[in-house]
Every structure is written in structure tokens, then in C-alpha cells.
Amino acid sequence: MSGADTPARTSTAGEWRVFLGRRYRPFQGLGLSGAVVAALAGDGLTIPLLLELGASPALATVIGVLPFAFSAAQLGVPWLLRRYDGNLRGVTLTILAVGETRGFILGGLTLAAWVGLIPNGAAIIAIGAVMSLGGAATTIGGTNLLAWYGAILPDPERRFVAPRVMGMTLGLGSILLLPVAVLVQLFLPELGVRIYAVVFLASGIAGVAEIVVLRQLAKPGRVRVARSASSADGPPAVPPSPHLQPFLRSITVAAFGAGFGPYLSIYAISVLHLPPSYAILLSAISSAASLVSATIIGGLLARGSASRTLRVSFLLRGSSMLLGLTAFPANPLAGVIICVVAGVAAAGASAGTLSSNERLMRLTPGPDLIRAQGRFVAGSAAGITAGQLSNAAILAILPLGYPAFAILFAVSGLTRFWTAARAEVSETWSSSTRIYRNEDLRKP
């Protein structure tokens, strides 16, 4: 993909029309296939399935955090790249081949549980293991893809393309999850958990398609990986930006708030006593909100401040959690409120994902990018894991009801507000920090 012709900056709709043209067809394929996998083999389906198989809310919460915990393996990517002479393409393809095809295994386990080949308890453990390894591989591979884009696209075009690919992946699941919610509602009583197996199979096929498209993307060449203080391999690390460490710290704290927040699907099913299809509908609303948010945020990031956008995302997510306090069981509008919470939280999460990854790229010199990405993902993993294990402990210790979830809503919301108040931001909305040089990342 040549970067000689950078996209013209017009309206948000106009920029999306440019992105959906022939020039960016491979990136569209990645966004679409990634969206199918994220929607149909993510926790929007696996959490209701685990509850259907008999997992407790606390256990389902622990299983839900394991993919984040295992994604800390991103710290090992610099070693892998040095081991294989900077072969970013080969490393990324291998990792994503593991993560994006997990739907086949999930479908097989679901059918095995349905026919009684394995007991439900064993199926729960096995599904948790697949989600842990496969979900972590998807996160690590997706992070590597951002470096891949940085290696093949000049900075103006990277800023244009990367948020839109991520936006498609985060948002297009709404198109898929809505009919899935209907299917589960209609056929779960008759077919049982077999209906989940069909959906998982579709996600596995999409994962194979994603690998095929990825193999057609321009090759990033051999990437440079800055050495650590204890390593003699690779170019020396460039002195980091003084803003990098505060940024990473704020991401870790915000991730703790995210982990401490309750699964809305568990709350809806266990406390509000709404059907499993409603929980999937929440995921569909979240995906739609993510798509709208990504559409808007992609244009903002191409032209201005990633740090200020990140602060707004903290405020959106904090506000959504505090709004959740009003969805108590006696409130006849509780179900509607949870839908609003899901939408606002997802919009904030989408904005946060896009802006935090963009800010990392702008704060990190080329050779140090891979190592900084490892610290970024590991910090996020540590924060989410600590928060969600605390979440699970509260659900296990306290009686399952509104008071326990109220604690989760309150702590999660206040943590985000605290992070927003302390986050470093650029002087103006138009500040874009620095230009990323892809030639700094590639080996000569």
C-alpha cells in the first residue's frame, strides 16, 4: 500500500466514503472479518453460554478476565521478533491463526456438552481455557497489526486507516449480534446450547478469512526492536517521552476501573431476571454505539489531540457506571437504563481504545514501539485482572443482588473520574503530539 496519496480531509462521512473505496479493500476485509470473530466468539456470547451451562456469576466473571490476564504475554513479543529477525508478518500471522479460529474449538466443546460427551463442569473449564488463550492471542495479534500498519503506511495515512479498521472491528458486530439475539430467543428452548455452536462455527470461518486477507497485506519488512537494558540485541532504546510513563500509569488505573465494573449481562440475568437474549441484545447495543463512536473519533484523531479524546472517554465510561446505580430492581425502567449504560460505556470504550493506541504511537519512537506496546498491553492486563478479580470476590462473598452490584458500579465510575482528573492532556484539541516515522521502525 503506497502512502504517496494521503486521503483528503473532508467531512467524517466523506472520509468514510474514501476508506470504503477500492484502495483500502484489504483493510476493509480485516475490519469486517475481525468484527465477526469479535462478535460471535467474544464474551457477548460466551458469558451467557457459561451461565446456561451452570457457571456461577463469580466464576463467569473470572473466566471473562482470563483473556486479558494472558494478554500480558505481549511483553514477550520483542523477544520473539529479535529471535526471528524482526519478522513481524510471520509472528503476527501465527498468533492470529491461534486466536481468530477459536470458534471451531468453542463450537466443538459446546456440542460435546450438549450430547453429554463431557459434563457441563468440564465444558465450562475447557471453554474458559480456550477463551483465555484464544482471546489473548487475538489481543496480542491485533496490537502487532498496529505496528504493521505503522511499518507500511506513512503517518497521515496510518492515522486515517488504523482507527477505521479498529472501528469496523469494534462496531460492525451490532449487525451480527441483533439477529443472534433473536435466534437465541427463538431456538434456545428447543435446540439448547446447540444454537451457540452454530454461531461459534461461523466465527471460526470468519477467522480463516481474516488470515487469508492478512496474508495479502503489504509486507512490513523486518522491523527494528530496541533492546532492553539487559540485552545486547537490537538498536539501543531511544530515551522515552517524559509523557509515556504517566500515560501508561493512567491506562493501568483506568483498566482497573474497567475490570471492577460489572458484566451488564450478568446483572441483567441474575438480578433483573431478564432472559439470555436480552444480554446478547446489550452486546448488540454496545457494538452499535462503538461503531458510531469510532466513526466520529477516527476523524478527530486524524486531525487533533489523542490525549484529550482519551480524557473524554474516561468521563463517558465513568458516567455510564454511575448511571447504572439507578437501575435497581424496583425501578420499572431498569432494563431501559441498562441499555443506555451499555451504549454510553461502549462509546467511551471505543473512544478510549482508539485514542490510547494512537497516543502510544505518537509518544513512542519507531525502534521502541514494540517494547512500549508490550508495556501498554501488560499494564492494561494487570489493571483489568486486578479489577475483575476484585469484582468476582465481591460477587462471591456478598449475597447476589443489587447491593453487591452497586459497589461495582460506584467504584468503577469513580475510578474513571479520578483518572480523567489526573490524566495529562495536550494544550489544545488541535495538538497532535508528533509525526510517526515508519522508516524508524523498519530495518534498512
Higher pLDDT, 150 or 334: 334
Is the model's pLDDT at 237 over the cut of 80? no
Q: Which of 335, 305, 319 is nearest to 257 (CA)?
A: 319
Q: Region 29-35: what's the mean pLDDT?
A: 92
What tens digit of pLDDT does each residue of 250-306 get? 999 999 999 899 888 889 888 998 887 787 678 778 877 887 887 788 777 777 788
Residue 441 banded pLDDT, cuts 50, 70, 90: low
Domain ranges of the chain: 23-433
Kindly report the CATH class assigned to 23-433.
mainly alpha
The per-residue pLDDT for 127 is 92
Residue 51 banded pLDDT, cuts 50, 70, 90: confident
Higher pLDDT, 433 or 42: 42
- Cell numbers of 131, please? 477463551
- Cell numbers of 425, please? 492532556
Q: What is the pTM of this model?
A: 0.78
Q: Which of 163-172, 361-370, 387-396 has the highest mean pLDDT?
A: 387-396
What tens digit of pLDDT does each residue of 147-183 get? 899 888 887 788 888 888 887 887 776 667 767 767 7
Higher pLDDT, 334 or 395: 334
Among the ranges given (100-114, 258-272, 285-299, 343-357), the one the predictor scored with the smallest mean pLDDT: 285-299
Q: Are 221 and 351 in contact (CB under 8 A)?
A: no
What percent of the chain shows pLDDT beyond 70?
87
Higher pLDDT, 155 or 2: 155
